[in-house]
Structure 1
């Protein structure tokens, strides 16, 4: 059971945050109306909803959580898990590397808002033109519509961007981005514009996405596969586990012309981001807030909201209350109400819609 929603920048900056459950920009089959009737189609979506529990099942779930919450983790150990959270996640990625999670090819089904509006329209048109095509993939987009999308990442990047990229102040930019500025017929301010382009990673982009808690890149690379040939787009991704960021940067499909990965602790308000406030169009939080102490979540969201442009969007997905993962916990793993520590020291919280 997962909880998925999206918040606008305007709502995030208010004390009462109202999620946008319905929108004309949602997919043809929106969240809340996907009912699995054909078992052979179970992998066409990342989740199926409209599963209603019986009274007996609901009572059983409540009993299980009450039981596994009876014995709380000692306060000194709770403090240790808070102080050393990055250490436990670093050990997680050191152990599992990029083999634990699968690429989230469902992202564009659940969150079409990730993409610029023009790109969404292009993909809709391309989907319609290839409807007879059978797709054996969890991705919602046909393979033939994206040349190189499923090729080996390194070969694809070198072929398409290797010769046309340049390194500036430690970051790589596509030469065509710089050329479009210097070829400006109104070129009075072209040097100033070029300077701004180089002042921070993605400075020349017009549409910017930040994924918080990027892990090994299971959202990063599906997004890059679609955006890599879309001019003016840029993806930032961060994690407070340095080992996770290194996995992203060492991936064969990582290219700093389109993406910038960095280590960052979103709980540290004093820690600056490598870009100014109010420049992001989308912030993606997938199974991230659940790893943060409940008392710190609101502060984290408030700080992230300052990074969004007016009308920007924060997309959120996380564990729902009474998820099977919550019911499986044994006594002695509960930190506080609906907040647990796993055997490897990483933590997880289970949400309801009322938590917003």
Structure 2
């Protein structure tokens, strides 16, 4: 019981912790602030004055392809049902934060100039000779380290596969019949497992191969791999640019090959052998479904000093390598016309594929909370191994269905 002589403790009030807003940009992107951060003083729903660029959309902006959705006034959501990528066009007066992505958005003049400045800066501050040798001699070491650090948590499962590559929906249908699908550069299984999950074809054989042993170990450790009632999915280590074929696959035994963000991990000197291996594995009329990084993608522009290995070829902070392609460059590679790399060490010509379709996929992604716009650029292709005259059309496998359906790439 307190008395008059008992000191009274002053009442203390704990400081109120205010929630800090999320950092708008990481340190790695701070140099891009004026090119990716949207100025709040310019209201997105207000059309810019004549001749003025707004939010990455030039005042004279014209869509690369004609919209396939209903006119904006009749379709304010700018979507088809079900929603399809490639159908959401940004027009003057639109609020860019109404959606998280817009299709076929060309970069504005200011950003285009920034790309040129960044390219010059990157060339002038490239990787030293010692590190170039270190990163190029044992690339598998860096991928093993990457998957050891990230396990299966880095990439999200690719739920857009059938939407972008309808043939995968065909070959996994119940009753389709015998078909062999190979994924090159399978990583931790973010493509293989979604295909396995939707498969209803009891005669599907799905091979998932990766350069990294650690990545393959991750696939094999997943419950979906261990609990297969039938061995539909087989995961193996394979060097796509090596001299051997994947375990369990013979020349001319594969119907469809998936190459999603894997070709960019090869050095330019490995392209011809990799294409040769793909050509050897495919049946006549077999398909290659391709997606990778395009020139000028945010991932390329954001690189700072000490990342440039060679023209359009970089090393990330984790030691893995990445190349950024142009459309014509890919056409030349897959058609066998890349003049300075068409002959291998034995003097053999590079194999030629039919270019069924190849397109640039440009998107502007936006972050509403942080008020950011990000230009992405990907290459999407569909290549076919030519049919030989002695091969009956019935040997096409899924290629026959592809010819009837038309292009899988919008």
TM bucket by the smaller chain? 0.5 to 0.7
What CA RMSD, in Å, does the superposition of the two structures yield over aligned residues? 2.7
Alpha-carbon spacing, 1:75–1:277, altered in 2? closer, same or farther (3 Å)? same
CA distance in structure 1 between the partners assigned to 2:264 and 2:102 by the alignment: 21
CA distance in structure 1 between the partners assigned to 2:314 and 2:209 by the alignment: 24
Long gaps (5+) in structure 2: 1-80, 331-410
CA distance in structure 1 between the partners assigned to 2:190 and 2:253 by the alignment: 24
**Residue deviations 1:31-55 (CA, integer Å, cap 9, x gap):** 754436796664xxxx752112222
CA distance in structure 2 between the partners assigned to 1:34 and 1:273 by the alignment: 43
- Equivalent in 275, 279, 283 of residue 309 of structure 1: 283
**Residue deviations 1:98-131 (CA, integer Å, cap 9, x gap):** 1111101111111112233683999xxxxxxxxx
Q: Return the structure number with greater helix share.
A: 1
CA distance in structure 2 between the partners assigned to 1:285 and 1:60 by the alignment: 31
Bigger-Rg structure (1/2): 2
Equivalent residue, structure 2, for 1:294: 268
Alpha-carbon spacing, 1:299–1:33, altered in 2? closer, same or farther (3 Å)? farther
Are 1:206 and 2:178 an aligned pair? yes
Equivalent residue, structure 1, for 2:240: 266
CA distance in structure 2 between the partners assigned to 1:48 and 1:234 by the alignment: 36
Q: Is the CA contact 1:281–1:309 (under 8 Å) kept in the aligned structure 2?
A: yes
Q: Is the CA contact 2:236–2:247 (under 8 Å) kept in the aligned structure 1?
A: no
> What are the residue-to-residue correspondences of 1:83-94 with 2, within 5 Å?
83-94=137-148
- Equivalent in 222, 233, 246 of residue 251 of structure 1: 222
Are 1:328 and 2:302 an aligned pair? yes
Q: Is the CA contact 1:287–1:318 (under 8 Å) kept in the aligned structure 2?
A: yes
Equivalent residue, structure 2, for 1:75: 129
Are 1:217 and 2:189 an aligned pair? yes
Are 1:237 and 2:243 an aligned pair? no
Give the drift of 1:339: 0.5
Are 1:342 and 2:316 an aligned pair? yes
Give the drift of 1:271: 5.1
Q: Is the CA contact 2:209–2:246 (under 8 Å) kept in the aligned structure 1?
A: no
Give the drift of 1:77: 2.2
Give the drift of 1:322: 1.0
TM-score when scaled to structure 2?
0.55
**Residue deviations 1:130-185 (CA, integer Å, cap 9, x gap):** xxxxxxxxxxxxxxxxxxxxxxxxxxxxxxxxxxxxxxxxxxxxxxxxxxxxxxxx
TM-score when scaled to structure 1?
0.63
CA distance in structure 2 between the partners assigned to 1:245 and 1:262 by the alignment: 6
SS in structure 1 of the partner of residue 124 of structure 2: coil
CA distance in structure 2 between the partners assigned to 1:298 and 1:35 by the alignment: 37
CA distance in structure 1 between the partners assigned to 2:172 and 2:219 by the alignment: 28
Are 1:226 and 2:192 an aligned pair? no
Q: Is the CA contact 1:101–1:218 (under 8 Å) kept in the aligned structure 2?
A: yes
**Residue deviations 1:57-109 (CA, integer Å, cap 9, x gap):** 21221211221221222233222212211111101111110111110111111
Long gaps (5+) in structure 1: 1-26, 123-204
Equivalent residue, structure 2, for 1:105: 159
SS in structure 2 of the partner of residue 313 of structure 1: strand
**Which structure carries more relative contact order (alpha carbon 8 Å, separation 6+)?**
1
SS in structure 2 of the partner of residue 253 of structure 1: helix
Q: Is the CA contact 1:211–1:285 (under 8 Å) kept in the aligned structure 2?
A: yes
Q: Is the CA contact 1:208–1:235 (under 8 Å) kept in the aligned structure 2?
A: yes
**Residue deviations 1:224-258 (CA, integer Å, cap 9, x gap):** 0111x312111100111111001101101113611
